[in-house]
Structure 1
Amino acid sequence: MYTFDAKLGKIKLMKRLLIFIFFIQSLNLFAQSYFLPDTIFVKKVEACIDSIYDYNFDYVDDVYAELNRKYPHHPFPDLFYSTNLYWKYFPITPGSSTELIYLEKLNSAIDKAEQLLEKNEDKAESIFFHLMSRLLIMQYYADNSLSSKVITHLGPAYKMVTKGFELTKDLSDFNFSTGVYNYYREYYPKVHPAYKPFAYFFPNGDAQLGLRQLEYNWRHGTFLHYESLFFLVYINLYFEEDYRKAYRYIKQLEKDFPNNLLYISYNVQTLLLLKKYNKVDDLITKLENNPHENDFFKTTAKLYRGIISEKKDKDFVKAEKYYIQALNQFEKYGDFANSYSSVAYFGLSRIYNTTDKKVARKYQKRALELAVYPHINFN
């Protein structure tokens, strides 16, 4: 199990992605089994999920209303709506306009799953949706450093996990989930030794086998090929430090979902790590000009403009301006934005390294305090 100490930030990004990806798996599992006789509606729901991936939320309300009419007592509709909120208002933080409705829908999904379990109806799905709803709530609290609230969900979540182990034969696209387990069971404790004692409670994995399984599922999976692809991006960026591979994978994702702001942001980040500065301007402009209410990605665009000004243009005055603007705007996202803020502090440290070593060291220290993966520093 995870510990919730000063090192909590080190697991935030991985935990957020793991939970979200398995949530998408649950959507597809439900669509396969529960809607099977209604193939037209299945396609409608799947098309809507794809549109959410591509930051098109126009059909969500209609599909959600139809889901509620058809399946009012099932947790799926509330989870479906939650993923819409997750992407549309990314990131959801304490005090934001979306926080209460997001948690309300997830708690409603838990209640409905528990009611189905009491009746012993759709046991595999009920356990899975209960677990996913619970983990999404835990993810929200962990992302925002509300660790005491996470702890209250550990017992119920673990109970569902142990029940879920008995039902793995019911899951499809199994290369994805086993690939994720095989990789992270072996590699994560190596990167973060503090978690090695906890790894002994779980069966051994095989990192290279895990990568092969994810690659296989990307090419041959039915429902989870995009999730496998995104994990390959993430692993190669943050664990393998193979930015060329990460770029190859993220290009495919962006090709299929050209309007997904998170994918665009990862593409820019990867290109900057590869020092391909001439390829990022149009992508950063898309982040700057995105029409959505949430301005988180507009703030990341300022961060990326700072890197370009510093590294490509050697305009340190402009770079410092961008970094400070980004830091000021990231403040409203609280602890969620720590990994992004660390990049800005690394940049300020480099700028001041030749003129004021004391200030440079102060910025460097702050960057390391906030960094989730310190090698993502653009040094």
Structure 2
Amino acid sequence: MLARILSISLIIWLNLVNVNAFSQSLPLDSSYTVEEPSRYLLLDKGLQFRITKAINSMYDFNFPVAEHDFAVLAYQYPDHPLPDFLMALGYWWRIEVDVTNEKYDDIFIQYLDRAIEKAEEIYDEDETNKEAAFFLAAGYGFQSRLYSERKSWTKAAWSGKNALKYMELSRGEEEFNPELLLGDALFNYFSVWIPEHYPLLRPVLALFPKGSKELGLQQLEQVAANAFYTRVEAQYFLFRLYASEEKKPYEALRISEYLHSKFPNNPYFHRSYARHLYTVGRWPESLAQSLEILERIDAKQVGYEANSGRYASFYVAEYNRRIGDMVTAKRYYEKTVAYGEESESQESGYYLHALVQLGKIEMDAGNKKLAKKYFKEVKRYAKRKHPAHKEAREFIKKNKL
């Protein structure tokens, strides 16, 4: 656990960049030329407009369109790290939907390696090139992020160390500042959050500058409102922090609603929107979104899989339980369990709570044997301190199962 948190303490500072564009769209055309190119490709306004459609397609899980345009970009700029980095981002979002799925790991790392290699060649020729340092920091940061998910702590720490090195070297170009602010925002927030939750790490964090959660949130809002390349990444962190740590569910809903409206086919944003609707008590709307998610899973829409199904089935089950339709509630609790097992998420709260509710439903129906089976499954997968484990123990004791 200590190794993991040490790694995370680096990674949260190092997840520097995710490319996003949200303004006007112009088609990516191989015949298009920039009249006055910037020294740095990232600061080329013409290019920013040209890749907007491709990047929006990537976030909306239309990968064929995005990757076609990224391939054109690679043809135009064969020695620049940007095209490979964008291809890697597309695979990161495939991973993000269900981080337990490792099928995209190798190709994600391959594209990052290529982006890093090209950035290193530029940097070796000119160590004042801030753009090269920027891509090196971003590339190593994303590698560290994946390796931490895979519990490859040595690789995560090595990549994190490199990312930190190049992050510092990428500073100093004023036009990059809105993008680099994301790293500062995450550091400010988590440098306070980590010692609050993991006191053993206080001596380690004491070696770093003092942060501020309030400043970190302000900076994230700044990036989310003003940055070009890191906008979506900042919004992603904001709605997660508002939903869990800051206990501001309406703020989380505000951001996830915007992201879902902007990228309606992104399953991560879709299920987050359904979740935040459920959290604030807008249950009919959560029900509608959840049923749509389940329909998309049945239709085998790209990115919609068992992990999203576990969320959506649970919200549908809960809605029907609240209105007293226990037949439908039971069916969707069963789907929650099935999706949880398919995605190997038996320790998740939704899976465990679905088992508890199924046990109660069977108990009310006089099926004590089946009810006991469900509660035993809860005790099998839940940690003893988990509320579901306690509820299962007490129910078994009270009803002498």
Aligned to 1:345: 352
State the AA in 1 paired with 2:315: Y
Residue 168 of structure 2: aligned partner:
165
In the alignment, is the contact (CA less than 8 A) between 2:184 and 2:216 conserved in 1?
yes
Q: Does 1:108 align with 2:118?
A: no
SS at match of 1:23: coil
Match of 1:326 among 318, 339, 364: 339
How far did 1:60 drift? 2.0
Distance 1:154 1:224, change over 3 A: closer
Q: 1:323-357 CA distances to partner (integer Å, 9 max, x unpaired)? A: 321222112xxxxx577x33211332355479568
SS at match of 1:241: coil
Q: Is the 8 A contact 1:218 1:228 kept in 2?
A: yes
Partner of 2:256: 250
Contact 1:114 1:130 survives alignment (8 Å): yes
Q: Is the 8 A contact 2:122 2:132 kept in 1?
A: yes
Residue 204 of structure 1 corresponds to 210
Indicate which of 110, 117, 127 corresponds to 2:123.
117
Q: What is the CA distance between 1:228 and its match in structure 2?
A: 3.0
User: Helix, strand or coil: the match of 2:177?
Assistant: coil
CA contact (8 A) 1:116 1:126 kept: yes
Q: Of 302, 323, 330, which residue of structure 2 is paired with 1:292?
A: 302
Q: Deviations over 1:239-260 (max 9, x none)?
A: 1122122112222222322332
Q: 1:93 to 1:188 in 2, by over 3 A?
A: same
Whichever residue aligns with residue 286 of structure 1, its letter is E
- Shift of residue 161 of structure 1? 0.9
Q: Deviations over 1:70-115 (max 9, x none)?
A: 222222211110111222464365652x333222212222222333
Please give the alpha-carbon distance, in whole angstroms, between the structure 2 residues aligned to 1:338 and 1:126: 43
User: Could you tell me which amino acid in structure 1 is paired with residue 350 of structure 2?
Assistant: V
Q: Secondary structure at the match of 2:302?
A: coil
- Whether 1:302 and 2:326 are equivalent positions in the alignment is no
- Distance of aligned partners of 1:65 and 1:167 in 2 relative to their CA distance in 1, 3 Å threshold: closer
Using the TM superposition, give the Cα deviation of residue 293 of structure 1 relative to its aligned residue in structure 2, in angstroms.
5.7
* Aligned twin of 1:366: 381
Report the TM-score when normalising by structure 2: 0.74
Distance 1:104 1:151, change over 3 A: same
Output the aligned Cα RMSD: 3.8
Q: Distance in 2 between matches of 1:11 and 1:182?
A: 14
> Corresponding residue for 1:190?
196
Moved more, 271-280 or 220-229: 220-229
Pair 300,207 (structure 1): closer, same or farther in 2 beyond 3 Å: same
1:1-379 paired onto structure 2 within 5 Å: 3-4=2-3, 22-24=16-18, 34-35=40-41, 39-88=45-94, 90-91=97-98, 93=100, 96=103, 98-120=104-126, 123-143=129-149, 146-147=150-151, 149-170=152-173, 171-173=176-178, 174-290=180-296, 291-292=301-302, 295-296=305-306, 297-313=308-324, 315=326, 317-331=330-344, 337=345, 341-349=348-356, 351-352=358-359, 360=375, 363=378, 366-368=381-383
Counterpart in the other structure of 1:375? none
| 1:211–1:38 distance in 2 versus 1, CA, 3 Å | closer
Report how many residues are paired.
354
Please identify the structure whose Cα radius of gyration is greater: 2
Displacement of 1:175 after TM fit? 4.5
What is the alpha-carbon distance in structure 1 between the residues aligned to residue 303 and residue 264 of structure 2?
A: 18
User: Among the aligned pairs, what percent are the same residue?
Assistant: 19
Structure 1 position 57, deviation (Å): 2.5
Structure 1 contact 346–367 (Cα < 8 Å) conserved: no
Instruction: Compute the displacement of 1:236 (Å).
Output: 0.9
For 1:81 and 1:87, the matched residues in 2 are separated by 10
Three-state SS of the structure 1 residue aligned to 2:172 is: helix
**Separation of aligned partners in 2, 1:222 and 1:109:** 20
What letter is aligned with 2:340?
A: L
Shift in CA distance, 294/35, structure 1 to aligned 2, threshold 3 Å: same
Letter of the 1:172 partner, please give it.
N
Pick closer, same or farther for the CA change 1:358–1:326 going to 2, 3 Å.
closer
Mapped contact 1:55–1:259 kept (Cα < 8 A): yes
In the TM superposition, residue 311 of structure 1 has moved relative to its aligned partner by: 4.5
> 342-351 vs 72-81, which deviates more?
342-351
Contact 2:187 2:216 in 1 (8 A): yes
Shift of 1:288: 2.1
CA 1:125/1:40 → structure 2, altered by over 3 Å: closer, same or farther?
A: closer
After TM superposition, give the deviation of residue 35 of structure 1 in Å.
Answer: 2.9
Question: Is this contact kept in 1: 2:181–2:223, CA < 8 A?
Answer: yes
